[in-house]
Structure 1
């Protein structure tokens, strides 16, 4: 990992901004276009694949071996944007990449949380889940870019062990966000959402191993994405809905509908929840002011309640 200086931050940001702008133009030629539909939240055809800028700028800045499986995830996401990979192939490749990343950081025998040994297989499955839920949550303007910037900068402010890598993600995501929010000239696509989700999952495991902060800190910071995606999926499974069926029943999508299709209001509201609710709890847990299990429980409780009250995951007529 290169040492990140303010000039590097600026370079990564500007390069990501430039590449995203180029993707706005070339996505049309490549056929990378999201068309409006019943399960979409946009009204006009919009190019996708802008997350490639995040992958490329991270590739130029992060030299650790963990980037190789993350790069495979990004390339797979780009191919998925182009051709639509089957779920079986996608999950199989994600499994291999998660195993490779865990092996690369020399800790394939599992981890411990709250004194309980966590098998490596569960860690791999958690990495896959975060990769996919990040993709599920990328459904309105700015939400995925905002979350990446918030979580990454929060991890930096909490003095974690891999601050440079988090800064790279933040700067590259900010460059993309200028083209995606408040008005989306391009979408992130699977290439960006899956890549960010996988990178965050891998870095969280590395922070876990380094014990720079309690692992629960990262779970709290990612609370909006984890809770919304998990409650929605659990509800859909319990009500007999097909996992692969497109839907618009996440909490943030229901909020979007209640706000009259206003992307800015929803993304801004979620950012405020991150900043004013989740970050203080993450800060308290990271400084050992609050028991990590209690902090996780309290910070997640209102998010779960809201998701249930909004009937996330249920069939919407």
Structure 2
């Protein structure tokens, strides 16, 4: 409800300050508001802070894995550090939406937010080997940017965020905090579906990447293969595009329109792309359910096979290469 109130309000108040003007990599032709991330991000942070104050806050609902602010430990320290990290990540994106912050400062603030979330007292540092903790730190920074890179067509990033949070809930890993974000994204999606009236901006995509990445880390503690399988469409498209561009000796840090999803959107439109994403994600979900009881080695083989098949298909679509001239 708070998101539904804040979206029209922020669109009106920031009607001239938070506009996404079309450029060479845009999929829209007229300016659109990018205040969505400001609205649902603020709503989620306030709701999560309220839940924490009422002692109802959790990232995961699974009592078998470590919980932020769990009743078992009686501590909310980890939850406070998680929300601090999320707030830093969200503010970083918001600054970029308003002022176009240089990339090196954006990455620095992302690293600061991730560090707060996983290195603060009573957080992931209590559960992971130092070497694995470094890899987790780098992986979460990367995952934040995955959502940023993939937020390029109407409804795509919000749909993926909703799917991943719902899947985590289905498998018993999404607590109240995750459920609140899923509801906020569903409300935002009303304005973001093709043809979108509202974009989420970097504030929104960065926040989703951090929060969803965090719950995937919770899953990773128990089911590493599942944590790699669920976000396969976003991670494979981003990673493959990056590798192909590096192989072609193109600057990987420059903005472009060479992701596979961007090729699909150009050829078929936004709605078919969204339909393809949801159908593909449902297939992934069915594979995850089917593999839930498999031995670990078989599950790893399944995940590797899915990644390789998808990478082949996305490469054929054109990931990492410019669109052919017409």
Under a length normalisation based on structure 2, what TM-score does the superposition of the two structures give? 0.84
- CA RMSD of the aligned region, Å? 1.9
Does residue 73 (structure 1) correspond to residue 89 (structure 2)? The answer is yes
Q: Which runs of 5+ in 1 are unaligned?
A: 1-13
Aligned partner of 1:250 among 234, 239, 259: 259
Match of 1:172 in 2: 184
Aligned partner of 1:240 among 238, 249, 266: 249
What is the distance in 2 between the residues matched to 1:268 and 1:27? 31
Contact 2:20/2:32 (8 A) holds in 1: yes
Q: CA deviation at 1:154?
A: 1.0
The SS at the match of 2:119 is helix
Contact 1:110/1:118 (8 A) holds in 2: no
The 1:67/1:217 distance shift into structure 2, 3 A limit, reads same
Does residue 87 (structure 1) correspond to residue 73 (structure 2)? The answer is no
Match of 1:311 in 2: 318
The 1:288/1:56 distance shift into structure 2, 3 A limit, reads farther
Give the aligned length.
292
The 1:23/1:75 distance shift into structure 2, 3 A limit, reads same
Q: CA deviation at 1:199?
A: 0.9
The 1:110/1:84 distance shift into structure 2, 3 A limit, reads farther
Q: Which runs of 5+ in 2 are unaligned?
A: 53-78
The 1:136/1:107 distance shift into structure 2, 3 A limit, reads same
After superposition, what is the alpha-carbon deviation per residue over 1:136-167, rounded to whole angstroms, capped at 9, x for unaligned? 0000000011011111111111122x432221
Matches within 5 A, 1:190-201: 190-201=202-213
Match of 1:47 in 2: 33
Contact 2:154/2:195 (8 A) holds in 1: yes
Aligned partner of 2:219 among 166, 184, 207: 207
Q: CA deviation at 1:110?
A: 7.1
Match of 2:194 in 1: 182
Under a length normalisation based on structure 1, what TM-score does the superposition of the two structures give? 0.86
Aligned partner of 1:122 among 135, 141, 144: 135
Contact 1:27/1:48 (8 A) holds in 2: no
Contact 1:281/1:299 (8 A) holds in 2: no
Q: CA deviation at 1:54?
A: 2.2
What is the distance in 1 between the residues matched to 2:153 and 2:26? 9
What is the distance in 2 between the residues matched to 1:296 and 1:22? 43
Q: CA deviation at 1:118?
A: 5.1
Matches within 5 A, 1:283-298: 283-288=289-294, 291-298=298-305
Moved more, 247-256 or 302-311: 302-311
Match of 1:218 in 2: 227
Contact 1:20/1:175 (8 A) holds in 2: no
What is the distance in 2 between the residues matched to 1:219 and 1:169? 21
Contact 1:137/1:229 (8 A) holds in 2: yes
Aligned partner of 1:264 among 258, 267, 271: 271
The SS at the match of 1:225 is helix
Contact 2:91/2:203 (8 A) holds in 1: yes
Contact 1:81/1:191 (8 A) holds in 2: yes
What is the distance in 1 between the residues matched to 2:307 and 2:185? 25
